[in-house]
Amino acid sequence: MEESTFYLIVYCWIATAVLIFPFVVRFAAPYGRHTTKSWGKLIDNRVGWILMELPALLVFAGFYLFGSGSHPLVTWIFFGVWVLHYVNRTLIFPFRLRTNGKKMPVAIVFMAIGFNFVNGFINGYYLGTLATSAEYPLSYFYDARFICGFLIFYFGMMINWQSDNILIHLRKPGETGYIIPQKGFFKYISCPNHFGEILEWFGFALMTWCLPGLAFALWTLVNLLPRALHHHKWYKQTFADYPAERKALFPFIL
């Protein structure tokens, strides 16, 4: 593929994220607590999660590993952190969820497969085929973008994993109801799992300093900012004693 064609795809992908934001912010994506039958056929939640996330792991890894580029050393770190995140999200997280009997719309699964396919492709293809040692020399390991981006990614992943873990353990095995989370970053915001995930991918974008990384970070924000706002509203409507000082997504801000 011509490099110009590749970048055209990435610019279109970024433009799509910006254009759809005003629409997605208006409705709650119908999975988890917002699931609805009005989106057609439903599928088991756990199966849905595995199917949705698998392309992000396989497509990214395939395009990186089989790419015709020179695979500079630092790109293996980018590969490693992406795979670490998605091995957890695809192969571990779905089996830890206390989600027995819950379902999500098949339409959501297909949309997420498309989303993960494109993000896996643009990032895997860029790092596996287009990235050169001129962009990522050995000295890049000491570059402020790499160090800061890596730390932000790591910090975000720790918040994301801790928060996912707190949520999973709110329910006893077999339970399906909702409880107000109180531990960790939940003291400050309703959705630290989403906050951590956003930090991760903006850290990745900074660390890789490339357009595909930025595209994925923007898409993550476009997905998770509205979801956090809808979760926050739902918590306040559902629990009369919901902590008033708690924000939705960004501590002390929003």
Residue 227: its H or E element: helix 211-238
What residues does 43 pair with on adjacent strands? 104
Closest to 168 measured CA to CA, from 10, 53, 32: 32
Q: Which of residues 149-168 bind ligand NDP (CB under 6 A)?
A: 160, 164, 167
CB of 62 to ligand NDP, least distance (A): 19
Residue 203, interface with ligand NDP (CB under 6 A)?
no
State which residue, 49 or 126, has the beta carbon closest to ligand NDP.
49
Backbone angles phi, psi at 105, to 5 degrees: -70, 140
Closest to 143 measured CA to CA, from 66, 240, 77, 221: 77
Residue 170, interface with ligand NDP (CB under 6 A)?
yes
Q: Is 76 exposed, middle or buried (0-12, 13-18, 19+ CB in 10 A)?
A: exposed
State which residue, 129 or 190, has the beta carbon closest to ligand NDP.
190
CB of 216 to ligand NDP, least distance (A): 8
Closest to 240 measured CA to CA, from 191, 180, 181: 180
Two structure tokens written together for 140: 């890049």
Backbone angles phi, psi at 252, to 5 degrees: 65, 0
Piece of 20-28, 78-86, 136-144, 220-228 that binds ligand NDP (CB under 6 A): 220-228
Closest to 171 measured CA to CA, from 60, 96, 59, 115: 96
CB of 141 to ligand NDP, least distance (A): 27
Residue 99, interface with ligand NDP (CB under 6 A)?
yes
Pattern 23-62, ligand NDP, x by CB under 6 A? ---------xx-----------------------------
CB of 32 to ligand NDP, least distance (A): 3
Amino acid at 119: N
State which residue, 71 or 89, has the beta carbon closest to ligand NDP.
89
Piece of 61-69, 129-137, 139-147, 190-198 that binds ligand NDP (CB under 6 A): 190-198
Piece of 6-14, 62-70, 131-139, 174-182 that binds ligand NDP (CB under 6 A): 174-182
Which of 33-48 are b and which e, b meaning 16 or more Cβ less than 10 Å from the residue's Cβ?
eebeeeeeebbebbeb
Residues that bind ligand NDP (CB under 6 A): 32-33, 97, 99, 102, 160, 164, 167, 170-171, 178-179, 181, 193-194, 197, 220, 223-224, 227
